Structure 1
Amino acid sequence: MKKVWNYVFIALLVFLFVEVLIVFPSKLQHDDDKSVRERVEKQEAEKSKNGGKPGEPSSLSDQRLGGVHLVESQQGMRDWELFANSAEGSQASGNWKLHQVKVLFYNKEKVEFTVTGDQGSIDAKSKDLSIIGNVTTTSVNGYTFQSPSVYYSSVKRQIQSPEDVTMKGPKDKTGEGMVLKGRKMLVLVDESKMFIQEQVSARKPMKDGKAFDIVADGAEFSGKNREAKFLGKVRMTYDNMRLEGPEASFLYGSGADMLSSVAVKGGVKVSDADKFATSESVNLDLLANKYVFKGSPKIIQNNDELTGEEIVFLEGGKKVKIEKVRAKMENKKR
């Protein structure tokens, strides 16, 4: 009798074991089927909404992802880091269309530039990026560039935009940030430099109500400091003064958040209501309110011609000081 009960007990254990094996997989398979069914129903609804026919097989290009985060590295260091609200594309090709994109571009493991835009795409082979629609490129020190699109070359480590660009510089103690319009932006990520290569026009307001207005062929900005450089046929006005030359630099004191001077060099022409001057270079010292002409300076005021090794306009041009006079003031008829 005891052996019979042992057999019965063993039989019950076997029955329960088999029941567990049968019931639990059945429950798991049911949950998987429900999940798959919900995904299929969602895909069918999306296809119907987009003009597709229900029941047609889904292609790889119909795949969609949410909350995308990608990191690309070169030689063991981060090249770029990308975030997107969603993506759609093909796993077979590796090419994806991204929505609401944010890309961080690194230089020596530090974020150097940030680019945001409505849409983007990645080339699976080259790792090049395209960002289109309301694109903003921001440097680590506060320069922002707005353009319809930008394109990033992974090999060259360059961000480019061939279209119109609007730039806003960071505010400083001397006034609001510089505002610039131009065409063809080029950003060198490794060197942390930004260039506007065509049709530059800019304005730098000052707190005293004055402003610099600049027209130039091109402009260069640094992501390391506030300095700005204008190149090629530079024409600039400040207060009542007009300056022309091939190069003009906006300079900030070391560690200072203040525009200290503007240097124009390469053969400069300067004029105001009653003076005309030429020299190799002119430095506008904004803190001391004086203008220094060097390199064969010559100034004509009324009928007087002033020459010397260095000529300085004091108090914004109200007084003139001549260093090492080479010729006496003479009266001449024009």
Structure 2
Amino acid sequence: MGKYKNIIFLVLLLALFVEILIIFPARLEHEDEAEVRARVERQKAEAKKNKDAPAPSSLAEQRMGGVHLVESQSGNRDWELFAVSAEGNQGEGTWKLKQVRVLFYNKEKVEFTVTGDEGSIDSKSKDLSVIGNVVTKSENGYIFKTPAIFYSSKTRRIESPEQVVMEGPRDASGAALFLKGASMKVLVDQSKMLIEKRVTAQKPMKDGKAFDIVADGAEFSGKNREARFLGAVRMSYDNMKLEGPEASFLYGKGADILSSVAIKGGVRVSDVDKFATAENVDLDLLTNKYTFKGRPKVIQNNDELTGEEIIFLDGGKKVKVERVRAKVENKDQ
């Protein structure tokens, strides 16, 4: 009779183990197969020691360690998750995770990696959250630090509604772009990172100068180094102050250093002795040349200078005007 009890108990134990694998999200794997087998053997040994103990009355609460999950959409990997442990409830369909690392894929390539202290997963929707010391990294070197992120499997968006601190990849000069913002969105399918509201940033340059930037939002790409600042952009650089609705930080083709800044949509520029306006302004940082296009106008010492194109050379110390039209104040009157 005791022999049959042992068999029945082992069958129940095996059924519990199989059910855990089925209920947990699709394509469950474990990081170390040897560890899993060893754990099963320990469970069997423990069961033999406690063969007279009653079988569990409920399978609602389940725990496991060394978790590795892969979720796919339309035959392509959506995300891949690693966690030290997981604890879940059958009825709720929610699993709590410890020490989480998630890889987010775009066309079978890892685009973003998220790590954090804790996490959760909805086994039905496959939505994720990661909380506590959360770090999101793009494959091209952008690093975002937030208190938490939330991922929608349906929209393939990573969102953080709280303050984000960003460090960009370092360029050939060894300097990186540093930024703070009120919230963050990552569009995985488009490989875009959006920082929204109350954006402040600084980009040191190799000559000791720096761009200080305030804007309503910023946009970065996981494919290149280029950055866009949007909405009431205000920048200072050296002795200049620049204002406009949009500014782009551009890197030369094949270059690993910031080469130019383009401000568009109606720009205002001022320094210690000049004031200028134009539709667009291009700052060529490699040649120290600033070009004003689209009804450009420069006012200096009450003298007004207009033309088809105005170029500041040597950082603004010299001015070149194409098809100049000058209005000079008559100081003798």
Query: TM-score with structure 2 length normalisation?
Result: 0.83
Aligned residue number for residue 84 of structure 1:
83
Aligned residue number for residue 198 of structure 1:
197
Aligned residue number for residue 224 of structure 1:
223
**2: CA distance between counterparts of 1:272 and 1:178?**
24
Relative to structure 1, is the Cα distance of residues 109 and 38 closer, same or farther in structure 2, using a 3 angstrom cutoff? farther
Relative to structure 1, is the Cα distance of residues 313 and 38 closer, same or farther in structure 2, using a 3 angstrom cutoff? farther
User: Would you say the 8 A contact 1:200–1:217 is kept in 2?
Assistant: yes
Please state whether the residue corresponding to 2:253 is helix, strand or coil. coil
Aligned residue number for residue 35 of structure 1:
46
Larger Rg computed on CA atoms: 1
- Equivalent residues in 2 for 1:104-123, closer than 5 Å: 104-123=103-122
Aligned residue number for residue 330 of structure 1:
328
Aligned residue number for residue 66 of structure 1:
65
User: Would you say the 8 A contact 1:187–1:193 is kept in 2?
Assistant: yes
Relative to structure 1, is the Cα distance of residues 120 and 37 closer, same or farther in structure 2, using a 3 angstrom cutoff? farther
User: What CA RMSD, in Å, does the superposition of the two structures yield over aligned residues?
Assistant: 2.5
**1: CA distance between counterparts of 2:318 and 2:149?**
50
How far 1:258 sits from its partner (Å)?
1.0
* Identical amino acids, percent of aligned pairs: 69
How far 1:34 sits from its partner (Å)?
3.7
Please state whether the residue corresponding to 2:110 is helix, strand or coil. strand
User: Would you say the 8 A contact 1:304–1:332 is kept in 2?
Assistant: no
Please state whether the residue corresponding to 2:46 is helix, strand or coil. helix
Equivalenced residue count is 294
**1: CA distance between counterparts of 2:186 and 2:254?**
24
User: Would you say the 8 A contact 2:61–2:90 is kept in 1?
Assistant: no
Aligned residue number for residue 318 of structure 1:
317
Aligned residue number for residue 133 of structure 2:
134
User: Would you say the 8 A contact 1:303–1:332 is kept in 2?
Assistant: no
**2: CA distance between counterparts of 1:275 and 1:186?**
39
- Equivalent residues in 2 for 1:1-334, closer than 5 Å: 34-36=45-47, 59-60=58-59, 62-325=61-324, 327-331=325-329
Relative to structure 1, is the Cα distance of residues 203 and 60 closer, same or farther in structure 2, using a 3 angstrom cutoff? farther
Deviations 1:117-175 (CA, angstroms, capped at 9, x unpaired): 11110111110001111111111100011100000000101000111000000000244
Q: Quick one: which amino acid aligns to residue 251 of structure 2?
A: Y
Deviations 1:166-223 (CA, angstroms, capped at 9, x unpaired): 0000000244110000012011001000001111000001111100000000000000
Aligned residue number for residue 14 of structure 2:
none
**2: CA distance between counterparts of 1:33 and 1:230?**
60
Deviations 1:51-77 (CA, angstroms, capped at 9, x unpaired): xxxx99675454221110000000011
How far 1:328 sits from its partner (Å)?
2.6
Q: Quick one: which amino acid aligns to residue 77 of structure 1?
A: N
Deviations 1:38-97 (CA, angstroms, capped at 9, x unpaired): 799xxxxxxxxxxxxxx9967545422111000000001100000001111124543210
**1: CA distance between counterparts of 2:48 and 2:111?**
46
How far 1:304 sits from its partner (Å)?
1.5
Relative to structure 1, is the Cα distance of residues 312 and 63 closer, same or farther in structure 2, using a 3 angstrom cutoff? same
Relative to structure 1, is the Cα distance of residues 83 and 92 closer, same or farther in structure 2, using a 3 angstrom cutoff? same
User: Would you say the 8 A contact 1:133–1:148 is kept in 2?
Assistant: yes
Deviations 1:17-42 (CA, angstroms, capped at 9, x unpaired): xxxx99xx9xx99x9764226799xx
**1: CA distance between counterparts of 2:81 and 2:50?**
27
User: Would you say the 8 A contact 1:61–1:88 is kept in 2?
Assistant: no
After superposing on structure 2, the runs of 4+ consecutive aligned residues of structure 1 that deviate more than 3 Å are 31-34, 37-40, 55-62, 91-94
Deviations 1:247-272 (CA, angstroms, capped at 9, x unpaired): 00000111211111000010000001
Please state whether the residue corresponding to 1:316 is helix, strand or coil. helix
User: Would you say the 8 A contact 2:66–2:85 is kept in 1?
Assistant: yes
User: Would you say the 8 A contact 2:118–2:132 is kept in 1?
Assistant: yes
Aligned residue number for residue 32 of structure 2:
none
Please state whether the residue corresponding to 1:86 is helix, strand or coil. strand
Please state whether the residue corresponding to 1:328 is helix, strand or coil. strand
**1: CA distance between counterparts of 2:309 and 2:98?**
59
Please state whether the residue corresponding to 1:36 is helix, strand or coil. helix
Deviates more, 1:55-64 or 1:212-221: 55-64
Please state whether the residue corresponding to 1:225 is helix, strand or coil. coil
How far 1:329 sits from its partner (Å)?
4.4
Please state whether the residue corresponding to 2:63 is helix, strand or coil. strand
Please state whether the residue corresponding to 2:154 is helix, strand or coil. coil
Q: Quick one: which amino acid aligns to residue 156 of structure 1?
A: T
Unaligned runs of 5+ in 1: 1-20, 41-54
Relative to structure 1, is the Cα distance of residues 277 and 268 closer, same or farther in structure 2, using a 3 angstrom cutoff? same
Please state whether the residue corresponding to 2:141 is helix, strand or coil. coil
Relative to structure 1, is the Cα distance of residues 309 and 105 closer, same or farther in structure 2, using a 3 angstrom cutoff? same
Unaligned runs of 5+ in 2: 12-41
**1: CA distance between counterparts of 2:67 and 2:330?**
75
**1: CA distance between counterparts of 2:271 and 2:49?**
76
**1: CA distance between counterparts of 2:58 and 2:138?**
40
